[in-house]
Amino acid sequence: MRTTVGIVGAGPAGLLLARLLHRSGIGSVVLESRDRAHVERRQRAGVLEQGTVDVLRAAGAGERMDREGLRHDGIELRYRGERHRIDFPALTGGRSVMVYAQTEVCKDLVALQLEEGGPLLFEAEALAVEGAEGDRPRVRFRHEGREDVLECDYVVGCDGFRGVARKAVPAALSRTYERAYPFGWLGILADVPPSHDELVYARHDRGFALLSMRSPTVSRLYLQVPAGTDAGEWGDEAIWDELERRLETADDWRLRRGTITSKSVTPMRSYVHEPMRHGRLFLAGDAAHIVPPTGAKGLNLAVGDVVTFADALIHLGDTGSAERLDAYSETCLRRVWQAERFSYDMTALLHRDPAATPFEDRVQLARLERIASSRAAAADLAEGYTGFPLGERR
């Protein structure tokens, strides 16, 4: 089997890249180790930056998002029972975000790829990426009980942190940067309308809490818990009681309770692999970087990576210049590190470190007070939350 771009992984990054290439007349094959049902039900991020929304619309993948997604023009910060709204459009020149689950993005892109695009092979396990240093890299994979080889001009690894793509970068050339946090998020899905019409980020002496949503009838909520916590240790009523404590306000706001349908714990870590390119192998999304979810950056960073790659490859075809392809890693990493910084800052701003001193607790509150009282500080948060530029765009 042969194609121009071999894409390993059918998450939002791989699927969007295939869509962008197809609309520019560039062939691709997508290899995904899991079945379609698994891809379309993986619970992940739900906040899309303005740039991601614009890309999906331009790629012809925004119709259902615009119909069913929830546009948000701000978030609310809570601390000491006080409520402070960050108005995104007023602080960023009109930008906003969209609440639309990654599962729904994947469903839309899978349907488009199967209807209009190139081959999308489910249950096709990538075994290795080989020959990245040469002109004809290849992906060895197993599909329908037999091994096969996908020969490509380029390989893009969108196969996550545990995938095979990053392993093809020689250890001697790799640099990794990592931070593990002493807490995680206990997350729930609940069949109850959201208790607020925008996301609420709460700093509390007992730990962080987040009020989010998946739809007008389904709420998504999170609690900071110690690293290594088992979700089964928490009963449903205990979760609602703790959410109520941490989200409490001095006014008459009340938390709505409902039936919890899903419960899990997400570890918190920051990770960057440099470089994001080795020969004709390009890393994208979680294969190259991970952010704590506080800043809502994971999916959006992946979109930035594949937009950068697609634009660079189109530029090569239009001009004969490989300059943008050669700069892929450097271009992406500028945005990645800004997102890492923002996510780290949001995490430090809102979570209670178990080792924090009283001085550090007061500094944390002072930072929140600065954001609540300073337009410049609030604008910095709003600009970071709604998204950094995606790089070269056509």
Three-state DSSP class for 30?
strand
pLDDT for 388? 83
Break the chain into its structural domains and give their ranges: 5-70+101-177+269-352
List phi, psi (to 5°) of 34. -95, 170
Report the CATH fold assignment for 5-70+101-177+269-352. FAD/NAD(P)-binding domain (3.50.50)
Told to judge if 385 belongs to the known catalytic residues of this protein, a careful annotator would answer yes
Run of H or E including 31: strand 28-31
Identity of the residue numbered 224: Q
CA distances in angstroms from 140 to 7, 14, 41, 250, 279, listed in the order given: 12, 17, 27, 60, 17
Report the alpha-carbon distance of residue 198 to residue 375 in Å, rounded.
20
pLDDT for 393? 43
Kindly name the residue from 79, 154, 181, 201 that is annotated as catalytic: 201
Three-state DSSP class for 272?
strand
Q: Cβ–Cβ contacts within 10 Å for residue 54, how many?
A: 17
Kindly name the residue from 79, 181, 328, 385 that is annotated as catalytic: 385
Told to judge if 72 belongs to the known catalytic residues of this protein, a careful annotator would answer yes
pLDDT for 391? 56
Written as one string, the DSSP assignment of 197-265 is SSEEEEE-TT--EEEEEEETTEEEEEEEEETT--GGGS-HHHHHHHHHHHT--SSS------EEEEEEE
Kindly name the residue from 72, 204, 273, 351 that is annotated as catalytic: 72
Kindly name the residue from 22, 196, 289, 297 that is annotated as catalytic: 297
Kindly name the residue from 194, 273, 293, 351 that is annotated as catalytic: 293
Rg (CA), the chain: 21
pLDDT for 42? 78
Taking the CA of residue 126 as centre, how many other CA atoms within 13 Å lie in the half-sphere pointing to its CB? Answer: 30
C-alpha dihedral sign at 193, 197, 201, 206: negative
Told to judge if 107 belongs to the known catalytic residues of this protein, a careful annotator would answer no
Q: What is the chain's pLDDT, residue by residue, as a tens digit (394 residues)?
A: 999 999 999 999 999 999 999 999 999 999 999 999 999 987 777 899 999 999 999 999 999 999 999 999 999 999 999 999 999 999 999 999 999 999 999 999 999 999 999 999 999 999 999 999 999 999 999 999 999 999 999 999 999 999 999 999 999 999 999 999 999 999 999 999 999 999 999 999 999 999 999 999 999 999 999 999 999 999 999 999 999 999 999 999 999 999 999 999 999 999 999 999 999 999 999 999 999 999 999 999 999 999 999 999 999 999 999 999 999 999 999 999 999 999 999 999 999 999 999 999 999 999 999 999 999 999 999 999 999 877 544 3
Pick from 340, 345, 337, 335: which is nearest to 367 by CA? 345
Told to judge if 289 belongs to the known catalytic residues of this protein, a careful annotator would answer no
CA distances in angstroms from 343 to 72, 231, 296, 299, 340, listed in the order given: 19, 24, 8, 13, 5
Which residues on adjacent β-strands are paired with residue 83?
A: 78
CB 44 within 8 A of CB 194: no
Place of tokens 């960023």: 92
Q: Which residues contact 319 (CB under 8 A, 6 or more apart)?
A: none
